[in-house]
Amino acid sequence: MHEMHFDGNEGLTHYLSIRHFESLVRNRCLYLRRQDLQEKDHADGTFPAANRVTLHRRDVALMRSLGQTEERAMALAANYQGGNEYARQRHYLHCWTIRDEESRWMWELHGGRGQGVCIKTTVRRLCQAVGGDRFKGHHGGDFDLKLEPVVYSDEGEPFPTWPSYAIAFRKIKIPGHVAEAEARLLACDYKFDNPIGPEGEFLPVCFGRLFQAVYLGSKIPNDEFARIEALTNAVAGSRVVRPSATVFN
């Protein structure tokens, strides 16, 4: 899953509440949420306005290689504009921050200001933990898995329409995203003749491979810390829990 865009050694972190972390451990699965149901960014994974009037150079090259005219290519590209939501309903995401160290900003944004959990892994460990590039989705068919970095682009820049899953990795370039470096684990359900699926998909995961380290927030009470530490080390099969070095008053 990672050969094209990663070398495998990149560090990844994921911040979540204790409640969601315990759900992850209990289900032994990562929860991938449907892209169209994201609360914070309703434009996430949509084509920019530029795609209505021009083509990305990759699309132009592809269409020329297929013997198609640019006019025909534009007509096909325009069809994707109407399919924004349709594709988002078939993209299931689990998001990671690309960095080796803890981030105070991410603790504040997703880690409950020290009351939550930070999972530390690498690209290679995550790929090994999910066991391949496919899994069985809600309708029993194969879902393709992709792990790629997010591409931040302006509304004035055309975005490639091929491969069809690429748009799932696009975010609009705004000041609030400047400090981000995000990677996404994507499950694609492209059985377009099937009904829209559930709000999320559960992807089985091996904690022994996934957990390089698990940082428990500095504001977690001692008794709760001990309970989560014992649970986490048990499912990982080794001592992976660390106290967070990021302190909140």
> Cα 135 from chain centroid?
16
User: Whats the size of the chain, residue-wise?
Assistant: 249
Structure tokens that stand for 42 in this block:
């309703």
**Contact call for residues 17 and 115 (beta carbons, < 8 A):** yes
Count the Cβ atoms, other than its own, within 10 Å of residue 130: 23
Q: What is the pLDDT of residue 137?
A: 85
Q: What is the pLDDT of residue 2?
A: 63
Q: What global pTM score does this model have? A: 0.89
Q: What is the pLDDT of residue 118?
A: 98
| Cα 114 from Cα 146, distance rounded (Å) | 31
**Contact call for residues 149 and 5 (beta carbons, < 8 A):** yes
pLDDT in tens, the chain (249 residues): 666 689 999 999 999 999 999 999 999 999 999 999 987 777 789 888 888 878 888 888 877 888 877 677 667 666 555 557 778 898 999 999 999 999 999 999 999 999 999 999 999 999 999 998 888 888 778 889 999 999 998 889 889 888 888 999 999 877 666 567 899 999 988 776 778 889 999 999 999 999 999 999 999 999 999 999 999 999 999 999 999 999 998
Q: What is the pLDDT of residue 177?
A: 61
Q: What is the pLDDT of residue 51?
A: 83
Strand ranges (E), the chain: 11-16, 29-34, 91-98, 117-122, 134-136, 142-149, 151-153, 170-172, 182-188, 200-204, 213-216, 241-243
CA angle 98/99/101 to nearest 5° reads 155
Say what angle helices 222-236 and 18-27 make with each other, to 10 degrees: 30
Q: What is the pLDDT of residue 77?
A: 60
Residue type, 206: C
Helices (H) and strands (E) in the chain, counts: 8, 12
Report domain extents, the chain.
11-243
DSSP labels for 92-113? Answer: EEEEEEE-SS--HHHHHHHSGG
Q: Strands 29-34 and 151-153: what pairing?
A: unpaired
